[in-house]
Structures are given as structure tokens and as C-alpha cells.
């Protein structure tokens, strides 16, 4: 494959990665699924005795665990029963307006005839005793205009009926200003440092800088994957666990190749793409105040900086290493041809 064609394919793949991560198909009807950052954060303040509740995805979803001995009904926006926790498991009322609104994507507009008095139609959704659902009451106050510098937005409430008695979950919504745009400056600094080494045109320096950048990307990718996998959720699903294992296995392979072997330009291409993918996923941490993954905000943003700046820089170095390999092969072929011509003449 010619170098120009290889570069076109690499850039096309890079563009595809950016498109897939910048416009995730899992966004659904109620904001992003598993967002890594948000400008708003809902916190639980009071929970009925014996129950365990947690807000996940910033201000998007409510998670509730109920003892097997209790019966708890979650009421929807119109006061109709939406979810029922019982010794048999968790059931959803398909005659609830909230049931229609929480379909992903939204199947249809809730029938206007549905009211709190509409007889419920219960359908089992889980045999366990915990469940999570999107609840617009958590972020309904996000549209309220805030005074400059204000953090607390207001209070929210999710009504429950616990063993026949009304007992809500309540809490508050907070807002955080966006982080400083200065966080984007280190991305430029990392890239400029790589380009400075690239301009020297010394193969030994290119190899050393490539190793250093690749190790930084792999460490940042591992930290970000762990943070996103844990994500502050009460449980870790099978698919999340598989994704985490795959990423960590790739990082282990990359560190082995970079630190203990002589990696070629293709290995660096792969590391750069994975780093860029992780960096694009982490971009919201650079533009929103609350970081939702299980990492300190500064660490998550530093991982985004290393993945984005290092990923682009490593791509540039990988192209240089590819050119150097092509040059060595051309010189080797020239030497072979020269020896052949000398032998033929003699």
C-alpha cells in the first residue's frame, strides 16, 4: 500500500472515530446515557426509612433499592402509579404517562386520557428489588435562571407510596460553572512539544518521544476507562465490565509492546486512535463543571488533555516512523540492486 493511500485511510478512520464519539447513538430521548460530565448535579437529601436511593448520570436518572418485604409504588408526573416494587420484583404500569415518556426513543405521545385514576396495567420488568429510571423531576429546575455565582438551584421531590403511606424521596439540584478554557491550552502545549521534537528529524529522538507519548496515552486511557467503568453507579453491568476488561487488556498489550519490544508505526497508530477515542469521550469534562466519572475532576481533565494532545502528536510521529521504514526498505532494495549489477558485470 502506498504511503499516500495509507495516510488517507488513517485520516478517514480518525474522522469516523470522531463522528461516532461526538454524536453517540445512545443519546436517547432524555439526554446522554452515562454522561461523563454535567453542569447540573442532583443529590438525594431524604429517603424513606429502609430504602436506598441514588441519583446517577448527574441529574438524569433515579435508582432505588427496596427491601423484599416492602411494597413501594413510584408515582409519575400526573400522580399515577408508575413503578411497583414488591416481593415479586419490579413492575411498570403501561397506563402511566411516564411509561411512554421513558421509552428510548419515545414511541409516542402519552394518551391524554391517562390520569391518576386510570386503572394500572402492570408488567414485570425485573425479578430483583432495585431499578433505575429517567425522572424529569430531578432536572426540571435546570431551566430556572440563576443569579451570578449561585450554586444551589432548588429542591425536587419524587413521590412514593411505601406500604400504603405517602413518603417521598427529596433532594436538591446544584449548578457548577464551566471550567476555565485554559484546560484546552495544555493540549496545544503537548502537541507543540511533540512537533518540536519532530522538526529535529533524528530517528532516535522520534523513537524516544513516541515511546514516551504512547506510555502517557496508555496510562491516561487506563485511568479514564476505570473512571468511566465505575462511574459512580450502584452496580456494574455485564457489558460495562466487558468493555472495561477489553480496554485494560489493550492497555496491558500496549505497555508490553512499547516498553519491552520495538513497536512499529502501526502499533503507534493503534495507540493513537484509542487515545483519541478516549479523549473525545472525555471532552465534556473540559466544558462542564461537574465530572461524573469515578475520578477527581482534575485527573479526568488531565486524562482528556493527554489523550487528545498526545493522540494527535503520536499520529504525526507514526507517519514519520512509517516514512523512515519506507526509506530503509528503499535503501535496502537499492543496495541489493547495486550488488546484483556488480555481480552481473563481473
Say if residue 196 is in the same domain as residue 121. no
Which of 121, 143, 175 is where one domain is finished? 175
Say if residue 193 is in the same domain as residue 278. yes
pLDDT of residue 68: 93
Say if residue 166 is in the same domain as residue 284. no
Say if residue 239 is in the same domain as residue 314. yes
What the block records as the C-alpha cell of 192 is 507543540
pLDDT of residue 321: 76
Please state the domain count of the chain. Answer: 2
Say if residue 169 is in the same domain as residue 227. no
For the segment 17-68, what is each residue's pLDDT rounded down to a tens digit?
444 444 443 333 334 467 899 999 999 999 999 999 999 989 999 999 999 9
Say if residue 273 is in the same domain as residue 140. no
Say if residue 240 is in the same domain as residue 152. no
Q: What is the rounded CA–CA span in Å between residue 214 and residue 232? A: 28
Which of 133, 155, 175 is where one domain is finished? 175
CB 218 within 8 A of CB 262: no
What the block records as the C-alpha cell of 321 is 516512523
For the segment 112-131, what is each residue's pLDDT rounded down to a tens digit?
888 888 999 999 999 999 99
pTM of the entire structure?
0.78
- Residue 90 falls inside a structural domain: yes
* Mean pLDDT value across the chain: 83
Say if residue 252 is in the same domain as residue 163. no
Say if residue 71 is in the same domain as residue 209. no
Closest by CA position to 184, among listed 274, 273, 287: 287
Which of 175, 206, 238 is where one domain is finished? 175
CB 311 within 8 A of CB 273: yes
User: What's the domain range around 165?
Assistant: 40-175
- C-beta neighbour count of 293 within 10 angstroms: 26
Say if residue 140 is in the same domain as residue 278. no
Closest by CA position to 274, among listed 229, 327, 216: 216
Say if residue 97 is in the same domain as residue 115. yes
Amino acid at each position: 500500500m502506498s504511503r499516500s493511500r495509507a495516510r488517507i485511510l488513517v485520516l478517514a478512520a480518525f474522522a469516523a472515530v470522531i463522528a461516532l464519539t461526538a454524536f453517540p447513538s445512545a443519546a436517547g430521548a432524555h439526554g446522554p446515557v452515562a454522561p461523563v460530565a454535567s453542569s447540573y448535579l442532583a443529590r438525594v437529601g431524604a429517603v424513606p426509612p429502609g430504602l436506598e436511593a441514588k441519583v446517577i448520570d448527574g441529574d438524569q436518572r433515579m435508582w432505588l433499592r427496596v427491601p423484599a418485604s416492602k411494597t413501594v409504588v413510584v408515582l409519575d408526573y400526573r400522580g399515577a402509579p408508575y413503578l411497583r416494587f414488591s416481593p415479586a420484583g419490579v413492575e411498570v404500569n403501561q397506563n402511566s404517562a411516564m411509561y411512554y415518556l421513558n421509552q428510548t426513543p419515545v414511541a409516542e405521545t402519552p394518551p391524554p386520557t391517562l390520569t391518576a385514576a386510570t386503572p394500572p396495567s402492570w408488567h414485570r420488568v425485573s425479578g430483583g428489588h432495585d431499578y433505575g429510571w429517567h425522572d424529569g423531576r430531578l432536572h426540571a429546575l435546570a431551566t430556572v435562571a440563576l443569579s451570578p455565582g449561585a450554586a444551589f438551584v432548588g429542591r425536587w421531590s419524587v413521590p412514593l407510596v411505601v406500604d400504603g403511606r405517602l413518603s417521598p424521596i427529596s433532594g436538591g439540584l446544584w449548578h457548577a460553572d464551566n471550567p476555565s478554557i485554559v484546560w484546552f491550552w495544555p493540549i496545544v502545549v503537548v502537541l507543540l512539544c511533540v512537533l518540536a521534537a519532530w522538526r529535529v528529524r533524528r530517528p532516535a529522538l522520534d523513537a524516544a518521544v513516541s515511546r514516551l507519548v504512547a506510555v502517557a496515552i496508555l496510562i491516561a486511557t487506563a485511568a479514564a476507562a476505570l473512571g468511566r467503568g465505575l462511574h459512580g453507579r450502584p452496580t456494574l453491568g455485564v457489558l460495562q465490565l466487558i468493555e472495561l476488561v477489553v480496554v485494560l487488556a489493550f492497555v496491558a498489550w500496549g505497555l508490553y509492546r512499547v516498553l519491552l519490544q520495538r513497536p512499529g508505526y502501526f502499533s503507534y497508530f493503534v495507540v493513537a486512535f484509542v487515545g483519541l477515542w478516549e479523549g473525545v469521550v472525555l471532552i465534556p469534562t473540559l466544558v462542564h463543571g461537574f465530572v461524573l466519572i469515578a475520578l477527581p475532576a482534575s485527573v479526568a481533565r488531565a486524562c482528556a488533555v493527554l489523550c487528545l494532545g498526545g493522540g494527535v502528536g503520536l499520529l504525526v510521529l507514526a507517519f514519520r516512523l512509517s516514512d523512515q521504514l519506507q526509506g530503509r526498505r528503499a535503501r535496502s532494495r537499492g543496495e541489493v540492486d547495486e550488488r546484483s549489477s556488480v555481480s552481473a558485470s563481473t
